[in-house]
Amino acid sequence: LTQDPSFLETRANHSLRLRFSWSWHCLSHNNTLKGIPISRRRRSRPSFSSKLKDMQNFFGLNRTGTLNPDTLAVMRTPRCGVSDVEDYSHRRGNRWKKNIITYGYTSELPVNTVDALFASALDAWAKASPLTFQRSYSHQADIMVEFVGNEHGDSFPFDGPDGTLAHAFGPGEGIGGDVHFDEAETWTAGFKGFNLYVVAAHEFGHALGLKHSQNPNSVMYPTYKNRKTHNLLSSEDIMNINTLYGKTNHVSQSITDTCNPDLTFDAVTTVGEAIFFFRDKYLWIKHNNQNDIKEGPISNFMPKIDCQIDAAYWVPQRSTAYLFNGTIFWTVKGSQVKGRPKNISSLGFPSWVQQIDAAVHIHKTVHTLFFTQHQYWRYNEHNKTMNDSSPRNITDDFPEINGPISAAIYKDGSLHFFVGSDVYKYDVKQKEIIGADKTTSWLGC
């Protein structure tokens, strides 16, 4: 069972004063330990069966209170080592009482291999909040990160390959905020082994005060899964970090960055004779065969929308565009938003789908394709129903398209997949890539 890493450490000599539990419940320290917040003190010790039921409920399993095969399967899944069932009424914990947070780490791996991945993982949280992270080369940083194995001085030993991948400690003094990775795992920057960027973003979430989420699309979901690395945080993650620290001061993409070779888009769609490109809360509008591009905050063009657009598509038969953010979408004709936003469940999506990565309508087939992580759905615009009750794997039907898709459009008889800063022209009939370009070329760079 998962241990609870919530205790004090004297970092100078790594001696520990702690009490801990081996149950699924995140047991708190009793009030005989000085300096432990009341919120961490245990009220009562629940039975094993009741906490097992809590864990089963957390993962959507039958609440039997017994170690049945489904429960054991979840427990064997590679996962975070922080308890899942600490608190069902709140998804946020303590917070740092400042907005500039220092971090540092030690590792037996080459620093240049992990430095960029850690910086990117912290940057994901920085972009969603007012937080600023500064690298520290001392051992007095707010967040200390280490690659360690087996017993490593905190009484929560790692278990070798697979199993517990990492654990982290919430904001606080001493060991508070620190993150430990199991050095026995195969850490990579891709989808073989365990993606260090994805796991680091999860653990840094704990270090900032976030708890586990029951939403499989949240980066704070406790079990490991290959997930998109572009726009890693879900709308729930952003909402929770905003609740702790406030909303971002991040300024949307400006005109000076338009020709940045690393430019990525959150959504792209044709709208009549124009193409709309969305990034953060910013919009570029390019008319076909014209070099002049209109740009500015999305709200300048559609006053009712003041948020990031995750996906968008256009149905020419209706002269209507559909814009998605998290679990809601707007219907837009011209620049007018029609009615109130609707939930994507009205399109037939199950509750576990919390965000659409990309959408594209193919008018010749009356189908719209919705891409979510490494899968996609096919929606019949004529019947207004999903073709299948379950999604299909992207690689099965679109060979050679490997990365999570950030945007897609159908133009001149071909699909165009935006994967990071690259755009792939795809022949649907031949099922192969027939051209590649950079996102900036679509803006005339």
29 is in an annotated binding site: no
Of 203, 295, 381, 432, which one is the catalytic site residue?
203
14 is in an annotated binding site: no
DSSP 223: B
Which tokens sit at 32? 């005989």
397 is in an annotated binding site: no
Active site residue 203: yes
160 is in an annotated binding site: yes
Other beta carbons within 10 angstroms of residue 346's beta carbon come to 10
396 is in an annotated binding site: no
Contact call for residues 423 and 416 (beta carbons, < 8 A): yes
176 is in an annotated binding site: yes
Q: List the strands of the sheet with 282-287, edge to edge.
A: 267-271, 274-279, 282-287, 293-297
367 is in an annotated binding site: no
Which neighbouring-strand residues pair with 418?
407, 423
374 is in an annotated binding site: no
35 is in an annotated binding site: no
386 is in an annotated binding site: no
357 is in an annotated binding site: no
292 is in an annotated binding site: no
Q: If you write DSSP's letter for every residue of 82-140 in order, what string do you get?
A: S-S-S-SS-SB----SSSEEEEEEE-SS-HHHHHHHHHHHHHHHHHTSS-EEEE--SS-
Own/partner contacts of 134-142, CB < 8 Å, gap of 24 or more, are: 134/100, 134/101, 134/102, 134/103, 135/102, 135/103, 135/104, 136/102, 136/103, 136/104, 137/104, 138/104, 139/11, 139/104, 140/102, 141/102, 141/103, 141/104, 142/96, 142/101, 142/102, 142/103, 142/171, 142/177
- Within a 13 Å sphere around the CA of 55, how many CA atoms are in the beta-carbon half? 28
400 is in an annotated binding site: no
154 is in an annotated binding site: yes
310 is in an annotated binding site: yes
Contact call for residues 326 and 309 (beta carbons, < 8 A): no
168 is in an annotated binding site: no
CA 202, 326, 216 angle in degrees (round to 5)?
40
Amino acid residing at 124: A
178 is in an annotated binding site: yes
Measured in whole angstroms, the distance separating CA 268 from the mean position of its chain's CA atoms is 20
Catalytically annotated residues: 203
Report the binding-site residues: 80, 142, 152, 154, 159-160, 167, 176, 178, 180, 182, 185, 202, 206, 212, 220, 266, 310, 312, 359
Report the binding-site residues for Zn(2+): 80, 152, 154, 167, 180, 202, 206, 212, 220
Report the binding-site residues for Ca(2+): 142, 159-160, 176, 178, 182, 185, 266, 310, 312, 359
